A and B are shown apart, each in its own frame.
Chain A
């Protein structure tokens, strides 16, 4: 389905080579990928095929060895570390397999963190955080520490944190990997709702059942896109 709107993200000929102990690992080779606003895309493939590497580059955590990356029409592949941080903060929301909440901070403070880095005023932050926690149904746990929550609840908070800054795209790396199937299902349900409300999502998953939630599935193998399939 190509409705002709401008892509939110365009990767062209992106490669990523890691050099370790004089061994070159071609984690990604010649990736072309467009992601349009409002799309729900999943990335699948066997372990070691480059899924996380691709997500890191999409999230501006890492830079491609070669090729170009434009986000909202701007070239971002070769920006400075600090500029990439600024873009990450505004445009990207991360959801990690292991939740990655900060243990010393309360639920509220965890969700507030990206807004703090943006330099947002406290009152505004409070309304953004409350709204995000409401959307994932965790507002009643705002004062808790992550260690006082179950895994499913922690992942909901992590989703709230990703949402809080109203990013252009949510990137999720196996968000259900550390959850049992019931909690995994609940988180997938949450992502689906977010998508239905207009969020752009790019998710890495192993699980065929969860991949089917997405409109589009990209299969990676050995650092290349071997299949790019729209859902029916």
Chain B
């Protein structure tokens, strides 16, 4: 009889055992497969471009956490001086309205202006037509566009005749020259690529002190390492710093591999999740080891007979490992299905800003991973019980009846330690989950400085050609605000330019009276341009002075409102009202203009908690600062759907060419910034819960098995006059002992893990006694729960067994 048939027969003989073992493993392996499928999709799977590991993203920086985009003149110098990149391209993301397609409403598409060599960096040929020529990528060239496969299918129904057609982007006509294949989405979900150098004479771009959201992409020459590139780019930046100390002082160049740039910030979080889910599998393995050992002990006579007829120890181990392997394979297969089943929930939970999370799939690497850990676990939980069983006493085969006096003490100890380690691991996971949950709740309770509930937001991107002046924009904005405010159920409305949690502009400033600092030394602030009842719509209190009004116009003296942080940091012990700041409001060819502070408002949180170091904030009036990207904020308790529809109708009635996009409640945007934390909290809680259930089952299994083994001893104790409560105490104290040792070890591990978690936690520091107390209470309850049934069963043993069961 071969081992496979033997193993199969054994498993079929005890379906209950097989079921519990397979289910336990399926949970453990399934959870691991699910997390690995995320890790694989987000961190491991290569980008869909040839030699993608050679693609780098470059930015400028004045230190850790102070990254910004690249000044175009710096890019030109980098391109000319470097020897490490095959190609170095500049990119600029922008959002435009696509209109003029017969039968289609105007819609917003994500565009990127790129230098023509950007396509060489990506390395994918267009699926239709061609990319830009040299002549099309220079000042004065005719406007051309390369479109994405997605737009080609959605807008043009995959019509090959699209080549040569004219499309309107922000009121400017572009000729389509090519269609890129579907995998080409860089940078960041782009739907149309436009030539960048056509606009390189833009004075704001040619200013070396300006960092106008241009990011540089490069492809390393073959054989050049990232470190070599970093060293060279640092050297070039240092030379530029010397040549242009005013604009480039303290600036360096940062080189990041594209994959890191996209998903680098998730590495720690996913690593933690992977670690946590690994612990769950270890707990499952400990359970199975005990389960198999108990079964091995019950089958001692069978192995003794095998040994008596000449089986070697190795042969018995092999037979048993084969059974473990079979169970692990079944568990792995079920676990894989289980992971496939939770895929859509995982995607729904994932942070929305990284498309790679959406690409979770169960490909060969994931299947391979499942098979690998299934094989690994089969040895992990199967080897010790098999080794134990192979030591069965050959004498057993010859004796009749006698079950032996019990397991050897070493086996009992090993069983205890397996459960102790389960308790320790569970405690560690419970503490970690509590910390993450607490951090998440802190994040949710965070004072934003505004009330995001009943606040709706929607964006409009005005084409700068048509809306070329502050007056034109002002007219549009006023009409929009008037009509929206007049909608039934709307309390108030305001408009902002970059607005909370939408990423924004920073600007340099200095106090009137102080000497103008060099650009390198100039303090930075966030800059927001607002109009309408912006502050009252956000419910952000005005602390001093006034808000903007109709008398603040293009031609009136410049005014600004600052936030409390600015007031405290730059006007300590002073009243900032009436003081003046030199502020660059972002108007073309204007620079820093002295502006009087007319109001101070409470601090609003502009950036997500983990995004960047908080800056003070300056507000300009939209009448005095020209902006074409508008975000409308509406305070109303109406439903999102009806607000969205009303706002679209209002915008269409003012200018039918302007699409409304990104219309959703402000709370959505706030919750989006919790994405990673939500994922961590949710999964950590599930893993900790799973660990608790497995450990409880493990403890129960051990105590139930031990009670069974001790029936005779318990009978003797009862015969000697032990009362049922005293027998229950015997079992309960065994459980309690395991709990205490396991908790002591788990505490040490939990301290260590808390420290490792510190970096991902928000406002949760050090050791929280409440968490440890709560976890202790939970574990004690689980221990009691697991011990009670075996304890009760033990106390009901019939003492007559003292005479019988020979």
Q: Give the B-binding residues of A (Cβ under 8 A).
A: 52, 55-56, 59, 61-62, 81-82, 85-90, 92, 94, 96-98, 100, 102-104, 113-114, 117-118, 147, 161, 165, 173
Contact = CB atoms under 8 A, between A and B. Distances in A.
Contacts of A102: 713, 716-717
Contacts of B802: 61, 94, 96, 100
A168 B663 CA distance: 90
B803 interface: yes
B512 to A, nearest CB: 87
A114 B721 CA distance: 6
B682 to A, nearest CB: 46
Most buried by A among B712, B799, B806: B799
Contacts of B642: none
Given A82-B725, A85-B723, A86-B721, 16 more contacts: A56-B800, A59-B719, A61-B718, A61-B798, A61-B799, A61-B800, A88-B718, A88-B719, A98-B806, A102-B717, A103-B406, A113-B717, A113-B722, A117-B722, A161-B720, A173-B803
Contacts of B639: none
B157 interface: no
B500 interface: no
A94 B721 CA distance: 10
B803 A117 contact: no
Contacts of A87: 721
A52 B722 contact: no
Interface residues of B, number: 23
B803 A86 contact: no
B798 to A, nearest CB: 8
A118 B720 CA distance: 10
- Majority-rule SS of A interface residues: helix
A56 B800 CA distance: 7
Given A94-B802, A100-B802, A82 B724 contact: yes
22 contacts: A52-B804, A61-B719, A61-B799, A61-B800, A61-B802, A61-B803, A62-B799, A62-B800, A82-B723, A85-B718, A85-B721, A85-B724, A87-B721, A88-B721, A94-B719, A100-B712, A102-B716, A113-B717, A114-B720, A117-B726, A147-B405, A161-B720
Contacts of B717: 102, 113, 117
Nearest to B801: A61
B723 A86 contact: yes
A81 B804 CA distance: 19
Contacts, number: 75
Contacts of B409: 104
Contacts of B803: 52, 55-56, 61, 96-97, 173
Which 9 residue pairs are nearest across A and B when measured between Cβ atoms?
A: A89-B721, A114-B720, A61-B799, A88-B721, A85-B723, A117-B722, A100-B716, A117-B721, A61-B800
A165 B716 contact: no
A165 B721 contact: yes
B247 to A, nearest CB: 82
Contacts of B406: 103
A11 B738 CA distance: 47
A179 to B, nearest CB: 15
Interface string B225-245: 000000000000000000000
A117 B717 CA distance: 9
A89 B718 CA distance: 9
A94 B720 contact: yes
Nearest to B720: A114
Nearest to A173: B803
Contacts of B799: 61-62, 88
Contacts of A96: 716, 802-803
A55 B720 CA distance: 14
Contacts of A100: 712, 716, 719, 802
A117 B720 contact: yes
Most buried by A among B716, B717, B803, B806: B803
Interface in B251-297: none
A117 B723 contact: yes
Nearest to B406: A103
A78 to B, nearest CB: 17
Given A102-B713, A103-B405, A117-B726, A88 B800 contact: no
Given A56-B803, A61-B799, A96-B803, A118 B719 contact: no
A96 B799 CA distance: 13
Contacts of B719: 59, 61, 88, 94, 100
Interface string B700-733: 0000000000001100111111111110000000
A96 B406 CA distance: 19
A103 B718 CA distance: 16
Contacts of B798: 61-62
A173 B799 CA distance: 14
Contacts of B800: 56, 61-62
Contacts of A103: 405-406, 713
Contacts of A118: 721
Contact of A90 (B721, B724, B725, B726): B721
Contacts of A147: 405
Nearest to B803: A52
A117 B719 CA distance: 11
B297 to A, nearest CB: 16
Contacts of B716: 96, 100, 102
A146 to B, nearest CB: 9
Nearest to B795: A81
